[in-house]
């Protein structure tokens, strides 16, 4: 990958998926595909920031405060982008309407009852899982935050595989849909799992990240059948689904 392709992809990834001030120099499918491929790096950076804040809050105020601080920081560092996508997808799936009507519901700015309930349950579950991890130690809690962040961004590449179409023209979903090759997505997931295993000195983090992709894949298949493709909201929902799945694996494991 040459520098002219790599740097716009990184800029696209950080400029789109975070609040970090990055000037996006290219806005096209090539840069978008590169961005989804390197999205785990965004998870690494944002996860490290949220993990550090969570560990500090845990040290000063206890495990529950650490968990709340980490979840809040994760949302703030993305402007709630992925949580908004999760809520919209929940409303679309819960509406029971045909694909065209469901997509219109998802595009509306308000949040319906399915979205509110889903957000509430997901955030409570994330906080509960992280509270248990921070109760073990600040370091273990921080690693759980980092694992969830990287797991969520690995799911983006799988959601943008080349056989996966966009549900509608226009928007981020159409820009990045079908832009990532299977070997690229696989390499990103394996490298992320390896990095977490080495950092945590335990295979639990690699296992959690790997299994979380199965949960995201289940949601992706459901959205493909329901909407006919992916949208930016669907990709956001995949991030939150994989992140929560990773936390659940860690919480239920040894």
Q: Using one digit for the tens of pLDDT, what is the confidence trace for 11-24? A: 888 988 999 888 77
Residues in Cβ contact with 137 at an 8 Å cutoff, skipping those fewer than 6 apart = none
- Sign of the Cα pseudo-torsion (152, 157, 161, 165, in order): positive
pLDDT in tens, the chain (254 residues): 344 445 777 888 898 899 988 877 777 788 888 899 999 999 999 999 999 999 999 999 999 999 999 999 999 999 999 999 999 999 999 888 888 888 898 988 788 899 999 999 999 999 999 999 999 999 999 999 999 999 999 999 999 998 888 988 877 788 888 889 999 999 999 999 999 999 987 899 999 999 999 999 999 999 999 999 999 999 999 999 999 999 999 999 87
**Range of 44's domain?**
3-252
| Helix residue ranges, H only, the chain | 3-17, 29-37, 39-61, 63-76, 81-95, 99-107, 113-136, 138-159, 171-176, 182-200, 204-227, 232-252
> What does the pLDDT look like over 180-197, one tens digit per residue?
999 999 999 999 999 999
Domain count, the chain: 1
For residue 229 the two structure tokens come to 């493709």
- Residue 170, classed as helix, strand or coil, is coil
């Amino acid at each position: 990958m040459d520098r002219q392709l790599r740097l716009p992809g990184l800029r696209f990834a950080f400029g789109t998926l975070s609040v970090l001030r990055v000037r996006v120099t290219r806005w096209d499918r090539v840069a978008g595909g590169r961005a989804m491929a390197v999205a785990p790096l965004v998870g690494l950076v944002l996860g490290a920031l949220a993990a550090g804040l969570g560990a500090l809050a845990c040290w000063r105020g206890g495990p529950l405060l650490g968990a709340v601080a980490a979840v809040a920081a994760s949302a703030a560092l993305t402007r709630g982008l992925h949580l908004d996508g999760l809520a919209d997808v929940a409303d679309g799936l819960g509406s029971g309407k045909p694909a065209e009507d469901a997509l219109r519901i998802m595009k509306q700015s308000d949040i319906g009852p399915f979205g509110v309930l889903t957000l509430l349950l997901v955030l409570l579950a994330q906080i509960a899982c992280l509270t248990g991890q921070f109760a073990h130690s600040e370091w273990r809690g921080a690693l759980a935050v980092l694992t969830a962040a990287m797991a969520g961004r690995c799911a983006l590449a799988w959601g943008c595989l080349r056989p996966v179409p966009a549900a509608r023209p226009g928007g981020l979903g159409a820009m990045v849909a079908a832009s990532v090759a299977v070997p690229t997505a696989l390499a990103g997931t394996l490298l992320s799992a390896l990095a977490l295993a080495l950092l945590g000195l335990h295979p639990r983090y690699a296992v959690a990240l790997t299994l979380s992709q199965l949960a995201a894949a289940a949601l992706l298949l459901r959205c493909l059948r329901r909407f006919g493709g992916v949208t930016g909201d669907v990709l956001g929902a995949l991030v939150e689904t994989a992140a929560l799945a990773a936390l659940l694996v860690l919480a239920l494991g040894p």
